Amino acid sequence: MRVGLYGGTFDPIHDGHLHVIRELISRKIVDQLLVVPAGEPRLRENAPVATGADRRQMCQLAVNSLEADIKSKVEVNPIEILRQGTSYAIDTVEAIAATYEGATISLILGTDAYEKIDQWHRAEELKKMVEFIIIDRPDFPGQPNLSIDALAVSATDIRSHKSDQIPAPVAAYIKEHNLYASK
């Protein structure tokens, strides 16, 4: 069994993320995909705007909006949001490996995140524990090992109201909770 870990701040989750999810499942690159919203990411310049609880709920709404055959293989895992302090991928991978004993763990990263992999906590250990699936990002050059014709959409553009490429239930949640309001 191949278990994919797709982590990110998901602030908010958007159509680009869902495109990645659909590609990974429909191409049978992973058998099960865990969407893991970050708790307190260490290598980001800014903290997430939405709370962990809001980001988790938006991820769940987005996953619920997927086609049944895709959705049945995707789960939102709150392990990092529930963890106190800085989130480290290695801790998440160790916990998932214990839960999915014998599974191959694949860590899904964009070319931007993979460029910083050597700065990650216990990076050398992590490299031995997982397979990396590095996906292309239209706005960031790099060396992907999986081309998925990624969508040119960013959470930054959504937060600043320059893009509306988000699932309808997520848009409704953002409006209802007045997230990312203009300042």
CATH of the domain at 57: 3.40.50.620
Question: Residue 162's pLDDT is what?
Answer: 86
Q: Model-level pTM?
A: 0.92
Kind of pairing between the strands at 32-37 and 2-8: parallel
Distance CA 19, CA 23 (A): 6
Q: What is the DSSP letter of 31?
A: S
Is residue 93 domain-resident? yes
Asked whether residue 182 is assigned to any structural domain, the reply reads no
pLDDT at 42: 62
In a domain, 183, yes or no: no
130 part of a folded domain:
yes
pLDDT of residue 141: 73
SS3 101: coil
Q: Does residue 106 belong to any structural domain of this protein?
A: yes
Output the pLDDT for position 41. Answer: 66
Residue bearing tokens 């524990």:
129
Q: What is the pLDDT of residue 37?
A: 95
Preceding omega of 12 cis (within 30 degrees of 0)? yes
Q: Please report whether residue 164 resides in a domain.
A: yes
Number of domains in the chain: 1
Query: Is residue 85 domain-resident?
Result: yes
| Long-range contact pairs involving 21-26 (C-beta distance under 8 Å, separation at least 24) | 21/63, 21/66, 21/70, 21/74, 22/66, 22/67, 22/70, 23/148, 24/108, 24/133, 25/69, 25/70, 25/73, 25/74, 26/70
| Structure confidence at residue 137 (pLDDT) | 82
Q: Tell me the residue range of the domain where 66 lies.
A: 2-176
Give pLDDT tens digits along the chain (183 positions): 999 999 999 999 999 999 999 999 999 999 999 999 998 766 566 778 899 999 999 999 999 999 999 999 999 999 999 988 787 899 999 999 999 999 999 999 998 889 999 999 999 999 999 999 999 887 777 788 888 888 989 898 999 888 899 999 999 999 999 999 854
**Residue 43, token pair as written in the block:** 């290598």
Asked whether the beta carbons of 90 and 121 are under 8 A apart, the reply is yes
